[in-house]
Amino acid sequence: MKVERMVDLSFKKLMEESEEKRGSNIILALDSVPSSESGNLLSVSLKILDEAHSYVCAVKLNRHLLLPLGLYDGVKRIVEKAHSLDLPVIMDCKINDIGYTNRVIAENYFNAGFDAVIANPFVGWEDGLQPVFEVAKEMNRGVILLVYMSHKASWEGYGQMIYDSKTGEKKPQYVAFAEKALAWNADGAVVGGTYPEKIREIYAILKEKVPIYSPGIGAQGGDVKAAVSSGARYLIIGRAITLARSPGEAARFFRDAARKS
């Protein structure tokens, strides 16, 4: 059954309403699932979604399922299932190419039903991410910018010091990206939950204007309380839920932990 997304709501509003309705700020990263056979990936993924959906406010997908299942085949069925459960769906594609290619990428994901895409601000605005924001506006979808990643080597790129030619100042790359999230009116900013000090610093720039999405909770060592108290609005959790003996119970555990934070 094909389920149409709620096109009358902006992505930010879609997320806010889902968060309020479900009493959860947990986003299920339906990436790694306990199946090595591509034929089982779809059924296993749908089963996890069925078990965990009551305790999450959105779903995020990456290439783990896209590559073996196909965008307009298995992945689209997952998107439609999530929509039937009133859950927004985010594509973690980290768009990072020239403008023409970026627009084509965004259009394909939006046409497959995704409510938002994650993009990498390294490519800049003009002939970079501008077309992504334009098509998102045309189709009433969201764009979330990658400001600081969750893995150990994040500092090599996102933490490097750069020279701002406009102000003549030196600043960390992630500060410049946070400023771009504001200037470009992004719908969110990804900041690794493994770095609560970076969340605090970036939240001080974004305030409540651009919500922070924090991955890396659980399997990568990120802590729910530390991330939320530092300013994270949404927590992206994957393996700690998808690989758990009971994904539903794991999702409820993280939802409750976030509520107490």
From the list 47, 76, 94, 180, the catalytic residue is 94
Judged by DSSP in three states, 186 sits in coil
Give the Cα separation of 174 and 85 in Å (integer): 35
Where do we find the tokens 């001080």? 204
Count CA atoms within 13 Å of residue 164 on its CB side. 14
Give the Cα separation of 156 and 145 in Å (integer): 18
Give the Cα separation of 143 and 145 in Å (integer): 7
Strand partners, 59: 28, 89
**DSSP per-residue string spanning 8-40:** TS-HHHHHHHHHHHHT--EEEE----S-SSHHH
Active-site residue flag, 152: no
Q: DSSP H helical segments within the chain, as ranges? A: 11-22, 38-52, 63-69, 76-84, 99-111, 130-139, 154-157, 173-183, 196-206, 224-230, 239-242, 247-260
| Residues with a known catalytic role | 94
